[in-house]
Amino acid sequence: SLPLVVGGGLRTGADVRAALAAGADAFVVGTALERAGAGAPALLHELGAARRAYEAATEAPVAPLPAAPALPR
């Protein structure tokens, strides 16, 4: 089965918890980190804490995605 990866619009820990509760297997952030500037480390901490809280509350680990296969040359 394919993992459901959610991205876009995830700007807070609450956004991450909502995505995981809705069935996401993983989440990605990009623009939110760029826009956070010097606050990026704090945002990463908040998002990671939300992931860990979700895992603890549901006993459902959010597994890292497997590495993508290498592209042929």
Instruction: Select from 55, 44, 45, 43 the least CA-distant residue to 17.
Output: 55
Instruction: Select from 50, 68, 52, 49 the least CA-distant residue to 60.
Output: 52
In contact, 24 and 8? CB cutoff 8 Å: no
Q: In percent, how much of the chain has pLDDT > 70?
A: 89
pTM for this prediction: 0.75
Residue 3: the pLDDT is: 82
Q: Encode pLDDT of 35-66 as tens digits.
A: 999 999 999 999 989 988 988 898 877 766 66
Residue 2: the pLDDT is: 81
